[in-house]
Amino acid sequence: MRLLHTGDWHVGRTIRGRSRAEEFADALREVVGIAREEAVDAVLLAGDVYDQRSPSPEADALVFEALVRLYEASIPVVAIPGNHDAASRLGALAQLLRPIGVVVVPRVVPPSDGSLVEVASRDGSEIAQVACLPFVPERRFGDAAALFRATEAWYQSYAEGMGRLIEAMCEPFRPDRVNVLLGHLFTDGAIPGGGEHQITIGIEYAVSPSRLPATASYVALGHVHRPQAVRGAPSPTRYAGSLLQLDFGEREQTKSVAIVEAHPGVPAKVREVALSAGRRLVDVRGTVDEVLAKGRGLPDAHLRVEVLTEGPMPGLNDRVRDELPNAVDVRISYERVEAEPAGPPVSSLASRDQFISFYRTEHGVDQVPAEVLDAFDEVAELEGA
Ligand SMILES: [Mn+2]
């Protein structure tokens, strides 16, 4: 059978406060299109469906539309929450989603209580059993472990416990089935994409790839935003990566979905299908003229602009933003002059001299530009200072 593995949609994510709804709509349409063209038997959605625990109605509409389109194409979906999703919210939605072929396993439960999801191929010749392992926050690990016959060894570390949890979740794997583990977790050695929350990417959360099941046909992971195969795992294992370049750490990454050809008793074969939807995130650096020229040549990208100048240039930030409407981040950079040896305490100065002292330290310059001082005087006058 053939499966499409995607995850880390993060629908609702903005970039420096700007909506990316159109990009999400395009990217989700592209994913649904690939699922149809490839005639996949199911979609595996590996968590972080939403960016926020309380998503906006707009984000909901985008996700619901994608799920309904898959239903119309008779493509079932198996989904788990990631660390960004509210498991309880997805759990409530699960009831509504079930009749349209979307099975959500919102929290860690033993296989006999619903975490092992069966999906048949269209022709009925093969059956996949998907062991669903939602993200387990460290503080909740005890609750998850308590559902199994956890021994003391489980509690030695998160990684060790997760290894045992994975083992228990995959225990029902059978050689006559396509066995899949669907999880949202961080494996040791994975290269972060840059848009993840750092706190959940770290050594204490890292599960050794060797703890992933050897009996799996395929392991479909979410959490890391750079699409990649996981080295050192006993079965074919991948992070699908995110849907869009979510932050500047993810610039230059081609996003993709994985098409998984799986049959019982053999390791799956995996193909990456690149996504073209969504704008690129691009760094632009140089003098004012350089950044404006480069930026005008990239009208479809979200730009992070760094302007190199000799010193502070009031109004430059606004000018760059005016001329490059797609600049989402503008910084002015110049070399800072070494701070002067301390004079009298700033608090003993008149407000104008306090401001001059502040400005010189803050901007690392000797002279406060005349127009800035004029502006200060104007404000000071209004304030009656
Ligand atoms: Mn994520």
pLDDT digits 0-9 by tens, 6-46: 999 999 999 999 999 999 999 999 999 999 999 999 999 99
Separation of CA 196 and ligand 1 centre (Å): 5
pLDDT at 354: 85
Q: What is the pLDDT of residue 217?
A: 98
* Angle between helical axes of 57-72 and 21-37 (0-180°, round to 10): 10
Distance 46 CA to ligand 1 centre (A): 9
Distance 360 CA to ligand 1 centre (A): 41
Fold topology of 2-274: Purple Acid Phosphatase; chain A, domain 2 (3.60.21)
Mean pLDDT, residues 362-375 taken together: 85
Instruction: Give the mean model confidence (pLDDT) for residues 83-110.
Output: 97
Distance (Å) from CA 34 to ligand 1 centroid: 21
Q: Using the Cα atoms of residue 296, residue 298, residue 301 and residue 304 in order, give the sign of their dihedral.
A: negative
CA 224 to ligand 1 centroid distance, Å? 6
Task: Give the pLDDT confidence score for residue 130 in this predicted structure.
Answer: 98
pLDDT higher than threshold 90 for residue 57 = yes
Say which CATH topology domain 280-335 has: Double Stranded RNA Binding Domain (3.30.160)
Residue 181's Cβ-side half-sphere holds a number of Cα atoms within 13 Å equal to: 32
Identify the band that residue 151 occupies on the pLDDT scale cut at 50, 70 and 90: confident
Q: What is the 3-state secondary structure (H, E, C) of the chain?
A: CEEEEECCCCECCCECCECCHHHHHHHHHHHHHHHHHCCCCEEEECCCCECCCCCCHHHHHHHHHHHHHHHHCCCCEEECCCCCCCHHHHHHHHHHHHHHCEEECCCCCCHHHCCEEEEECCCCCCEEEEEEECCCCHHHHHHHHHCCCCCHHHHCCHHHHHHHHHHHHCCCCCCCCEEEEEEECEECCCCCCCCCCHHHCCHHHEECHHHCCCCCCEEEEECCCCCEECCCCCCCEEECCCCCCCCHHHCCCCCEEEEEECCCCCCCEEEEEECCCCCCEEEEEECHHHHHHHHHCCCCCEEEEEEECCCCCCCHHHHHHHHCCCEEEEEEECCCCCCCCCCCCHHHCCHHHHHHHHHHHHHCCCCCCHHHHHHHHHHHHHHCC
Asked whether the predicted pLDDT for residue 204 surpasses 80, the reply is no
Has residue 140 got a pLDDT over 90?
Answer: no
pLDDT bracket for residue 188 (50, 70, 90) = confident
Residue 320 pLDDT more than 90? yes
The rounded percent of the chain whose pLDDT value lies above 90 is: 74
Please give the Cα distance from 335 to 228 (Å, whole number): 39
Judge whether 2-274 and 280-335 match in fold.
Answer: no
Q: pLDDT tier at 205 (50, 70, 90 boundaries)?
A: confident
Asked if 158 and 173 count as a contact pair (C-beta separation under 8 A), the reply is no
Enumerate the domain spans of the chain: 2-274, 280-335, 341-385
Distance (Å) from CA 243 to ligand 1 centroid: 10
Find, among 133, 100, 93, the residue nearest to 117 by Cα.
133
Give the distance (Å) from ligand 1 centre to CA of residue 143: 23
pLDDT averaged over the chain? 92
Residue 349 has pLDDT above 80, yes or no: no
Q: Give 368 Cα–ligand 1 centroid separation in angstroms.
A: 45
Exposure string over 130-157, b if 16+ CB within 10 A, otherwise e: bbbbbbbeeeebeebbeebebeeebeee
Q: How far is the CA of 242 from the centre of ligand 1 (A)?
A: 7
Cβ-proximal residues to 149 (8 Å cutoff; 6+ apart), any chain: none
Centroid of ligand 1 to alpha carbon of 246 (angstroms): 9
Instruction: Give 291 Cα–ligand 1 centroid separation in angstroms.
Output: 31
Q: What is the pLDDT of residue 312?
A: 86
Which pLDDT belongs to residue 316? 93
Write the CB contacts of 139 (distance below 8 Å, at least 6 apart in sequence). none
Confidence of residue 143 (pLDDT cuts 50, 70, 90): confident
Closest CA to 188 of 152, 148, 158: 158
Q: What is the mean pLDDT of residues 160-173?
A: 94
Distance of CA 257 from the midpoint of ligand 1 (Å): 15
> Residue 186: its pLDDT value, please?
92
Quick one: pLDDT at residue 43?
98
Q: How far is the CA of 188 from the centre of ligand 1 (A)?
A: 16
Q: pLDDT value at position 339?
A: 58
